[in-house]
A = this chain, B = another copy of it.
């Protein structure tokens, strides 16, 4: 396989692209992909050439050597995790895989997607490239949901280093993307979540996370 036969179509700094970049760094696969910038601020992700790769019109997309276009960050990470490279991010045994998939989905729907909904519905004048339909009440409801999920994460973490035990998994990567987006839309971590605050700092220092964001 050629060194850079796969392409990642994304926009650096955005939360879902960060998920895939962290997974690539964590698995030591970053030099196997070429990054192609999608000019999201100019609306390139809503034009036919990109929609042919991902009809959902969002980044990132992983384009395989045979032209297959994989979208949905959790699916891209699923692919990368089964390609090769250590450590495994989605679990090895049936039970590990089930638990990680469960926590990943709870963090994705309850935190990352909730913060994204708050962003889309509560940010004035996002414009036609980002969002035209806005429902402020739904945005506020999602801000509350994100905070509620952070409090669940506080209980889940207890004394452990990561959301599922003592190793970084896809669930932590999703959480970190949520932290990045929460920063940019100014949803601060609640004062009653000191464990989440320490966890977030731990993730930010984690080598693959630091490398992917550099």
Contact = CB atoms under 8 A, between A and B. Distances in A.
Interface of A: 55-56, 62, 64, 68, 70-72, 74-76, 78-80, 82-83, 93-95, 97-99, 101-102, 104-106, 110, 133, 135, 137-138, 141, 152
A171 to B, nearest CB: 11
Majority SS at the chain A contact face: helix
Contacts of A83: 94
Contact of A135 (B102, B105, B138): B138
10 nearest A-B pairs in the assembled complex, by CB-CB distance: A79-B98, A82-B94, A75-B101, A75-B102, A78-B101, A72-B105, A72-B102, A138-B138, A70-B98, A83-B94
A59 to B, nearest CB: 14
Given A56-B106, A75-B101, 19 more contacts: A55-B152, A56-B110, A64-B95, A70-B99, A70-B102, A72-B101, A72-B102, A72-B106, A75-B102, A75-B104, A76-B98, A79-B94, A79-B97, A79-B101, A80-B94, A82-B93, A82-B94, A82-B97, A138-B138
A101 B82 contact: no
Contacts of A102: 70-72, 75-76
A82 B110 CA distance: 26
